[in-house]
């Protein structure tokens, strides 16, 4: 503890009140053999200046590699004002209490976040966030099963183009609740879910269809056709999406004739820096008709009796607030601090700024792909339009190419061999708005030298895909 407020007198008074002679008596149930006489492994205390130097030295050992890896976590520029404001004491230490009127500032921010996310996804309503993008998809699956009362099958169509980590997380959470996630294969030429591949499910009882757009390969799915097909079968549509892409692409609320029923995703691209596993946050939006099945909390705006604007928690359907048996979720953690950063980030960029970020990301990825595929040993794998990232196939063993790139302080992309072994030596690459022409040239230069050194006789030229 950095600060213990109790004085020796306070401690003595408390011990006297409960009839204990000293603090050790409070722990007399712990056998003496398990007690430690001291913390011998803890080093001697250091001054602030020494601590700062030590922490910088340890941070430097991780290096600052040039990142061309996306796969659900993206290296975007975050304006300095975002976390300067987020870490102010009013936000950094505040957490919405059960007496919500005591935290009007926090509630107003969450209300604005909901408004922004509902607008970005073109959905009716948004909650105040979830734990992360993967668990948000699992929550959406559970929500769809509850909401689609016409379906009794508890079957969810899950394309294999959905992020593999999301699929694994969803399976872990729903498998013991009698929910079946049915794999839907992708097209080997386009890397997308082909609507015709769903025909053999027609007439079957399906609770929902998941559509990730852009999908894990960065490929743009045929969202209108897929959404229409699902609704014709009486299934709900769960959209999983990158929020930055929504600045340019059709939002889930406009897919097909009626729009998706539930939209979710990972909010990390909105003002949250890359970190070793997080924390990140998930978002979820839905149609008004499904709002009472939505996990988490919803903040509403109102007018008090004096005519002043106010904010309050209008829907709290998680187990902390209602009976567990009636709760919509037991894991819907609200990531308030990260949502604060995301709200400030979106407010600073605005709609035009977010669209500019999306355009820059897409342009840089196209430049990266064009530059890397100048080498005959590298070619695009799929022939459909992509956003933000795409898959490249190598005619050399990918591991032999990646190792020296790592040694050159590059994160060249995401190796797909473990998740999609059928693709062979395939690499998912991404370039955000933070990558410069010089960065791309550095990557291409190292890659060409590595390939040249490993192919003494030259690599057989392979035709590029259109």
Looking at the domain covering 66-74+350-454, what would its CATH class be?
alpha beta
Residue 344 pLDDT exceeds 50 = yes
* Res 416 pLDDT > 90: yes
Q: For the residues 226-248, what does the mean pLDDT come to? A: 97
pLDDT confidence bin for 319, thresholds 50/70/90: low
- Does residue 461 carry a pLDDT above 60? no
Q: Note the pLDDT tens digit of each residue in 148-198.
A: 999 999 999 999 999 999 999 999 999 999 999 999 999 999 999 999 999
Mean pLDDT of 48-52: 91
Tell me the pLDDT band of 331, cut-offs 50, 70 and 90: low
Which percentage of the chain shows pLDDT scores above 70?
Answer: 91
pLDDT digits (tens, 9 = 90+) for 113-143: 999 999 999 999 999 899 999 999 999 999 9
- Is the confidence at residue 303, as pLDDT, over 60? yes
Confidence of residue 261 (pLDDT cuts 50, 70, 90): very high
Query: pLDDT over 90 for what percent of the chain?
Result: 74
**Is the CB of residue 234 less than 8 Å from the CB of residue 224?**
no
Return the domain boundaries, the chain.
Answer: 66-74+350-454, 80-346
Q: What is the pLDDT of residue 422?
A: 97
**If pLDDT is split at 50, 70 and 90, which confidence band does 59 have?**
confident
Least confident interval from 40-49, 234-243, 265-274, 328-337: 328-337
Quick one: pLDDT at residue 463? 47
Q: What is the CATH number of domain 80-346?
A: 3.40.640.10
Query: Is this structure's pTM higher than 0.75?
Result: yes
């Amino acid at each position: 503890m950095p600060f213990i407020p109790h004085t020796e007198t306070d401690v003595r008074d408390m011990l006297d009140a409960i009839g204990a002679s000293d603090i050790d008596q409070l722990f007399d149930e712990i056998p003496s053999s398990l007690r430690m006489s001291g913390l011998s492994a803890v080093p001697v205390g250091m001054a602030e200046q020494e601590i700062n130097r030590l922490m910088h030295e340890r941070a430097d050992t991780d290096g600052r590699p040039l990142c061309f890896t996306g796969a659900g976590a993206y290296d975007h520029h975050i304006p300095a004002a975002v976390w300067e404001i987020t870490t102010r004491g009013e936000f950094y230490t505040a957490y919405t209490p059960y007496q919500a009127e005591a935290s009007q500032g926090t509630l107003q921010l969450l209300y604005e976040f909901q408004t922004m996310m509902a607008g970005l996804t073109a959905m009716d309503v948004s909650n105040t966030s979830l734990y992360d993008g993967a668990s948000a998809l699992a929550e959406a699956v559970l929500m769809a099963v509850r909401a689609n009362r016409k379906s009794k099958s508890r079957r969810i169509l899950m394309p294999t183009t959905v992020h593999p980590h999301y699929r694994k997380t969803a399976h872990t959470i729903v498998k013991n609740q009698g929910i079946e996630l049915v794999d839907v294969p992708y097209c080997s030429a386009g890397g997308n879910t082909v609507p015709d591949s769903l025909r053999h499910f027609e007439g079957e009882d399906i609770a929902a269809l998941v559509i990730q757009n852009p999908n894990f390969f960065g490929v743009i799915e045929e969202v209108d056709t897929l959404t229409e097909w699902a609704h014709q079968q009486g299934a709900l549509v769960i959209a999983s999406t990158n929020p930055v892409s929504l600045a340019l692409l059709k939002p889930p609320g406009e897919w097909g004739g009626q729009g998706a029923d539930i939209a979710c995703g990972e909010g990390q691209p909105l003002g949250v820096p890359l970190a070793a596993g997080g924390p990140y946050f998930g978002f979820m939006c839905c149609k008004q008709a499904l709002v009472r099945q939505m996990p988490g909390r919803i903040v509403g705006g109102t007018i008090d009796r004096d005519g002043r604007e106010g904010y309050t928690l209008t829907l709290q359907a998680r187990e902390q607030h209602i009976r567990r048996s009636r709760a919509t979720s037991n894991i819907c953690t609200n990531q308030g601090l990260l949502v604060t950063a995301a709200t400030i980030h979106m407010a600073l960029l605005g709609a035009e700024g977010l669209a500019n970020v999306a355009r820059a990301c897409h342009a840089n990825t196209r430049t990266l792909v064009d530059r890397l595929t100048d080498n005959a040993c590298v070619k695009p794998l799929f022939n459909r339009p992509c956003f933000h990232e795409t898959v490249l196939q190598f005619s050399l063993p990918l591991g032999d190419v990646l190792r020296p790139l790592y040694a050159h302080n590059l994160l060249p992309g995401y190796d797909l061999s473990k998740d999609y072994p059928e693709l062979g030596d395939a690499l998912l690459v991404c370039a955000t708005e933070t990558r410069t022409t010089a960065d791309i040239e550095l990557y291409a230069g190292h890659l060409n030298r590595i390939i040249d050194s490993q192919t003494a006789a030259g690599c057989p030229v392979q035709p590029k895909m259109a």
